[in-house]
Structure 1
Amino acid sequence: MTTTHAATAPTVRPFADTRTMLRRGVRRLVRYPSLTVMLVGLPVVMLLLFVFVLGGTLGAGLGGGGGRAEYLAYVVPGILLLTVASSGQGTAISVAMDMTEGIIARFRTMAIHQPSVLTGHVFGTVIQNAVALVAVLAGALLIGYRPAAGLPGWLGAVALLLLVTLAVTWLTVAMGLAARSVETASNTPMFLVLLPFLGSGFVPADSMPTVLRWFAEYQPFTPITETLRALLDGRTPGAVDVGLALGWCVLVAVPGYVRAKRLYTRSR
């Protein structure tokens, strides 16, 4: 009698594989702490520059006899979003390095949940951003920032920053996959860093020239900034700003995720 042995397919464990890829990303952050230091350094320098060099003049322009303290409260949400936007470059570079150095090809020969390679990058960036945001916020508190938010406001602010981080990260993961080289990947997300400056993050949009004001009012970071500012100030954000902020996060995150998944599958 001949016994036929059926081939057993390898078991794929999505959660375990994602956890493994996340651990890989965290180890990269530990081995190269300069990446996180640079992510914190730029926003902190910008915070000190705008508050102590320009804050007196810009604060007076807010109305109501404002000064540096008032401008500090105004600019912190913009600085926090600048931190999130700045992380996009590192994410795109990391993904492009994996694509060009052959590690992705090796992963594809292994019995792992293939999307975990991308989600590992995303969750690693979320952790890095959380560390950077806490550090930047601590710096703002040291120089006198005193948010009036209660527990609901803080929970809303954290949730919003998480959503923005996920949206920006999936977008830049797709950029990293689409880039032909690491150098290209380092340049493509640079426009994200400019958007907080071209919105209401640093000065009110209605103080800008007409064309720039129109752009500032309709670009994604303005409603996100206004919602975050209201939450940290202990105010109820406007329904329109909240709707636009959440809508922009979804509008950026979903196509970014779909594009990243398609590019990763196509490159196989």
Structure 2
Amino acid sequence: MSQVIDRSAVTQPTEKVNLDLGSGGERRLYWAIADCWTVVRRGLLTYRRHPSYIAWQLGFPIVSVLLYGYVFGGAMKAPDDGDYRDFLMPGMFVMTMAFGLMNTAITVVTDSTKGVIDRFRSMPMAPSAVVTGRGVGDLMVSSAELTILAATALAMGWSADGGLLKTVGAFGLLMLLRFCLIWIGIFLGLVIPSPEAAGGLYAVVFPLTMISSIFAPPSSMPDWLGTVAAWNPISSTAAATRELFGNPVASDGSWIQENALLMAVVWPTALTAIFLPLAVRRFQQLSR
């Protein structure tokens, strides 16, 4: 674990730095950012010490792309007789962001059960650093995952034909989805009692990704199941990114699918507004 600066033992140089920082509010902001980076750095160093984590988090999406794109791709049809790989790839980007929820939850519950979070709370560091550091670190890892996954997709023949600005906007929506799932993962990681129990989230996340528009249009499903899939929050992100990438888009004319771009912003914003306060409150309750 990375060394955290002990501000309880104040030396003369530290006092000078604090004076240079100005008001108390500015000093708190400085240490909040510094402590956040300490937590981020600790998380990133974990990958260097445990390369198997990299193999799992980066290897699983690549294998999934190859599996669904080549093994099942020949039996699947894209809307308007388009290329199925062009239809599939935005969905695979979304699936990778969705499965990141489990990585966040398992990491948080592991730190909690091993006493790492208690150790952080006993140190003179910003209370927000543990939560924000986890979020920033996971966003950085997710960015690396998307970069590698996009490179794999390009090698398979996928292309983004919507233009540079729309392509950047599509990746922005993917990161917005991951951002909201981070707070859900942190909250669940602070509630779930053990890493083994956190592994059970797979039984929730996997059906969530399957009952969506990631792999097939909701219109191809039975009416009741298609409605559930269309209103699945990750379906909105999948449809919106397909539109921005210029890839085939499946729509049956329903309101939720016609307004996918709007809902790709509304769903993550609403989920963040719910779970961010819950995660912070749960963390605060740990010290009681």
How far apart are 1:141 and its partner, in Å? 1.0
Correspondence 1:3-152 to 2 at 5 A: 12=28, 13-59=31-77, 62-64=79-81, 66=82, 70-152=83-165
Distance in 2, matches of 1:92 and 1:114, equals: 19
How far apart are 1:263 and its partner, in Å? 0.8
Q: Which sections of structure 2, spanning at least 5 residues, go unmatched?
A: 1-14, 16-23, 252-256
Secondary structure class of the residue paired with 1:195? helix
2:237 counterpart of 1:224 = yes
- What is the letter of the counterpart of residue 52 of structure 2? S
RMSD of aligned C-alpha atoms? 2.2
Secondary structure class of the residue paired with 1:113? coil
Cα 1:193/1:227, change in 2 over 3 Å = same
How far apart are 1:46 and its partner, in Å? 2.2
Contact 2:171 2:241 in 1 (8 A): no
Distance in 2, matches of 1:239 and 1:115, equals: 39
Q: Which residue of 1 aligns with 2:193?
A: 180
How far apart are 1:190 and its partner, in Å? 4.4
Secondary structure class of the residue paired with 1:108? helix
Q: Which residue of 2 aligns with 1:5?
A: none
Contact 2:174 2:237 in 1 (8 A): no
How far apart are 1:235 and its partner, in Å? 9.3
Contact 2:109 2:195 in 1 (8 A): yes
Runs of 4+ with deviation above 4 angstroms? 234-239
2:272 counterpart of 1:259 = no
Cα 1:193/1:133, change in 2 over 3 Å = farther
Distance in 1, matches of 2:92 and 2:52, equals: 20
How far apart are 1:30 and its partner, in Å? 2.3
How far apart are 1:224 and its partner, in Å? 0.9
Q: Which sections of structure 1, spanning at least 5 residues, go unmatched?
A: 1-7
Contact 2:98 2:181 in 1 (8 A): yes
How far apart are 1:239 and its partner, in Å? 6.8
Contact 1:200 1:225 in 2 (8 A): yes
Contact 2:218 2:226 in 1 (8 A): yes
Q: 73-82 vs 108-117, which deviates more?
A: 108-117
Distance in 1, matches of 2:230 and 2:247, equals: 23
Deviations 1:30-80 (A, max 9, x none): 222322321222222222222222222213x5333x4xxx00000001100
Distance in 2, matches of 1:178 and 1:143, equals: 41
Distance in 2, matches of 1:52 and 1:17, equals: 45
Distance in 2, matches of 1:193 and 1:251, equals: 22
2:254 counterpart of 1:241 = no
Contact 1:78 1:225 in 2 (8 A): yes
Distance in 2, matches of 1:29 and 1:102, equals: 20
Distance in 1, matches of 2:206 and 2:90, equals: 14
Deviations 1:212-256 (A, max 9, x none): 101111110111110011111179998721221111101212212
Deviations 1:156-178 (A, max 9, x none): 01211111110111100100000
Contact 1:96 1:177 in 2 (8 A): yes
How far apart are 1:81 and its partner, in Å? 0.9
Distance in 2, matches of 1:222 and 1:106, equals: 40
